[in-house]
Amino acid sequence: MEAINHYEGYIVPILNDNIDTDQIIPKNFLKRIEKTGFGQFLFDEWRYLDNRDENPDFILNNEEYKNATILLTGDNFGCGSSREHAVWALDDYGFRVIIAGGYSDIFYMNSINNGLLPIILPKEEREKIAKVKATDTIKIELDNQLIKVEDESIHFDIDKKWRDKLISGLDEIDETMAYKDQILAYEKAHGI
């Protein structure tokens, strides 16, 4: 997975609460097992009209937000069924960071395990960030646990283990392979 530490990007506010995984990517698009190609289906029922034309009223179809890589959203993001495809769709679309009031536990860990930084902030802090213009970037410093918006720095908490994992870019297989010598020695000692 791609490491993330100091990151700068444009933000898009979709401030709804309780955005579930079926809204992030509807179940009819889950027939594939590869992690790529899902971005085109992200927020499908909101992004497209019945005839598959872009919905001009949906914010991601607004030209100002086409380059957004940081999603600002409401409480309980990623609730519902535990489909990892939702994280794959966000990542494939181009998002690297999500800022929400909270996440379902499974969605949060799927994000971490796929290199997508899930930041939890209270509503008051998210409201400050929502005022940023679409043409202004915000900066994330994961190592310092800071979001820099205009002249203000906003602190966020993240477990050290997950922070270090995202900064290193090591996925679960990479983490296991760090113990390759010990695994091979164990297998040899036990005739495996």
Name the amino acid, one letter, at 157. Answer: D
Percent of the chain whose pLDDT exceeds 90: 81
d(CA 8, CA 147): 10
**CA dist list (Å): 5 to 54, 70, 173:** 33, 14, 20
For 103-126, what is the mean pLDDT? Answer: 97
d(CA 10, CA 90): 15
Predicted confidence at residue 28, as pLDDT, reads 87
Whether residue 119 is predicted with pLDDT greater than 90 in this model: the reply is yes
Asked whether the beta carbons of 154 and 128 are under 8 A apart, the reply is yes
Closest by CA position to 99, among listed 23, 165, 158: 158
Using pLDDT thresholds of 50, 70 and 90, give the confidence band for residue 32. confident
Q: What kind of architecture, by CATH, is found in domain 6-189?
A: Alpha-Beta Barrel (3.20)
d(CA 121, CA 33): 32
Tokens 């760090």, located at residue: 178
